[in-house]
Amino acid sequence: MTSDHIRKMFTLLFVAGFFLFLFGPLITMGLTAFNSSEFPRVTPWECFTVEWFDVLRQDQRLMQGIKTSFFIGIGVVFVAVPLGLAGALLLTQVPDRTRPWYYTILISPILVPGVVLGISTLIFWDRMGQMFFGDSVFYNGYFLTILGQSTFISAYTMLIFIARLQRFDPALEEAALDLGATHVQTFRKVLLPFLKPAIGSAAVLAFLASFENYNTTVFTVVSEATLTTVLVSKVRYGINPSISALAVVIILITLIGACYYELVKRRELRAIDNAKRVAGGGASVVQRRFFAEPAAWLILLVFVVGLGTAFVAGTTGVDECKVEVKEQKRVQTEARIKALNERRAKEEASAENDSVSPAEPRTRAKGTENFNSIFQKDNLEGQMDSSKSDESSDKPARKGTENFNSMFDQGNLQGEESEAETRPEPEPKSRKGTENFNNIFDPGNLNQPDAK
């Protein structure tokens, strides 16, 4: 019995750990959307605020990206749903011997990396344009992205239709024909109503898959920018909690969607159950009481938290709090700078005594220069916009201890991104970092020793 208990405990711990892994990052990110700190973080908590949602709303590029994504998503729905439907309907009718090939070809885009699909779509249509029109007529972000995404999204919708069609009785079609309906009538009055739920799910799935696609889109989108491409460039260069705010919005929409889905499903179950009861006279199996369900409590919880948030946001003086925090920080920073200066003086003194250390960092400094730049970029994004301070003045003097300092500074500076401009101390920041900032299309920012 005890070993059984231990196993049960272990299982529960594992499950709890798994769900923590799954939701922890999302919750943390969600919380950062409400912290007034310029850098998305939970600790230290500064002030409760909803201003990041305003920042989000005023972000023109992001809003434009969402708009583009929306139109592309609609386009994908109109391409992928009919294609998937046709693919599924034809599947049952192709000759037996060709069926495996047919299926393999149509399903293969699911197993092909999105990057490859994007590239092949781009190249193909570009060359088609060259060959037939002597021009890049197809070189259009909307056109290419809709086609590129539909390549694999159609396979998804096809799978949905195949699953639904498996439960379709072909005798129904024959019955309609036999009763005098034309093929089109049969399709419209018998097959289409049967497929309606599947068409709904396929459309939703197609839209969502399109909306969140990045890998294919980034190649086919050409000069447009979708939500995902904007997000990636944003997240890589200069993050602020407005992105968390966006995540909160998406999480809420998803939650509402999930709850709605659950409700619809329950209503369907109940309808079937009722029909059965009428026919068979059995008792209801599906619980009727909504609030007996944990899902209901979850919805309630989300609702209450949402209301509470709105209430708190409305009553708390964010500005007062901010001033307070700022003052606190100023005091802290001053103390830290003092400590820092003392420490540096001490280090410089000891470095002069040490004959090896000045030489070593110098040789290494060259090799790791690139490292440092990126290193800083990654960690100091918060400052990107605000810090215009000239850092070169102090640089030569610090050369010898650069490695030391950068590590040291980092620990120090991390807490203070928002005060970058007030800090008297120069940052060990290379030009490289800012250059990279301009070049959005530089993945990883790593300078390959590439002889191009």
**Stretch 278-307 residues interacting with another protein (CB under 8 A):** 278-279, 292-295, 298
The contact mask relative to another protein for 168-207 (x = CB under 8 A, - = no) is -x-xx-xxxxxxxxxxxxxx-xx--xx-------------
Distance, CA of 61 to CA of 64 (rounded, Å): 5
Size of the site for another protein (CB under 8 A): 138
- Write the Ramachandran bin of 238: left for phi over 0, alpha for psi from -120 to 50, otherwise beta: left
- Pair of tokens at residue 436: 């990279």
Q: Which of 388, 400, 375 is nearest to 426 (CA)?
A: 388
Helix, strand, coil share (%) of the chain residues, nearest 5: 75, 0, 25
Backbone angles phi, psi at 171, to 5 degrees: -60, -25
Part of the chain binding another protein (CB under 8 A), chosen from 83-91, 311-319, 330-338, 419-427: 83-91
- State which of positions 245-284 bind another protein (CB under 8 A): 246-247, 250-251, 254-255, 257-258, 261-262, 272, 275, 278-279
Per rule CB under 8 A, is residue 228 in the interface with another protein?
yes
- The whole-angstrom distance between residue 447's C-alpha and the CA centroid of its chain comes to 26
Distance of alpha carbon 431 from alpha carbon 373, whole angstroms: 8
Task: Pick the closer one to another protein by CB: 177 or 365.
Answer: 177
Exposure letters 71-88 (e unless 16+ CB within 10 A, then b) = ebbebbbebbbebbbebb
| Closest C-alpha among 283, 286, 284, 247 to residue 263 | 286
Shortest spacing between CB 288 and another protein, in angstroms: 14
- CB of residue 355 vs another protein: minimum separation in angstroms? 27
Distance CA(84)–CA(150), nearest Å, equals 9
Q: How far is the CB of 77 from another protein (least distance, A)?
A: 15
Query: Between 189 and 390, whose beta carbon lies closer to another protein?
Result: 189
Residue from 2, 60, 95, 356 in contact with another protein (CB under 8 A): 95
> Of 240 and 361, which has the nearer Cβ to another protein?
240
The yes or no reply on residue 130 touching another protein (CB under 8 A) is yes
Task: Decide whether 82 or 426 has the Cβ nearer to another protein.
Answer: 82
CA atoms within 13 A on the CB side of 158: 25
Residue 42 to residue 309: CA distance in whole angstroms: 16
Choice from 159, 198, 202, 225 touching another protein (CB under 8 A):
159
Position 155 contacts another protein (CB under 8 A): yes
Q: Rounded to the nearest whole angstrom, what is the least distance from the CB of residue 272 to another protein in the complex? A: 8
Which of 5, 21, 223, 315 is the binder for another protein (CB under 8 A)? 21
Vertex 264 angle, CA 259 and 270, to 5°: 125
Give the whole-angstrom CA distance, residue 118 versus residue 220.
6
Residues 243, 234 contacting (CB under 8 angstroms): yes
- 170 three-state secondary structure: helix
**Nearest-approach distance from CB 353 to another protein, in angstroms:** 24
Q: How far apart are CB 315 and another protein at their closest, in Å?
A: 27
| Smaller CB separation from another protein, 293 or 390 | 293
Among 6, 9, 20, 86, binds another protein (CB under 8 A): 86
Chain-centre distance for alpha carbon 51:
21
Q: Which is nearer to another protein, 354 or 378 (CB)?
A: 378
Residue 48 DSSP SS3: strand
349 touches another protein (CB under 8 A): no
| Contact stretch for another protein (CB under 8 A) within 46-54, 208-216, 323-331, 384-392 | 208-216
Q: Is 42 in the site for another protein (CB under 8 A)?
A: yes
Handedness of CA 416, 419, 424, 426 (dihedral sign): positive
Q: Is 121 in the site for another protein (CB under 8 A)?
A: yes
Cβ nearer to another protein, comparing 295 with 305 = 295
- Indicate whether 72 belongs to the interface with another protein (CB under 8 A): no
Quick one: 271 or 359, whose CB is closer to another protein? 271
311 near another protein (CB under 8 A): no
Q: Binding of another protein at residue 136 (CB under 8 A)? A: yes
- Residue found by looking up tokens 């060359």 in the block: 127
Tokens of 184: 């089109």
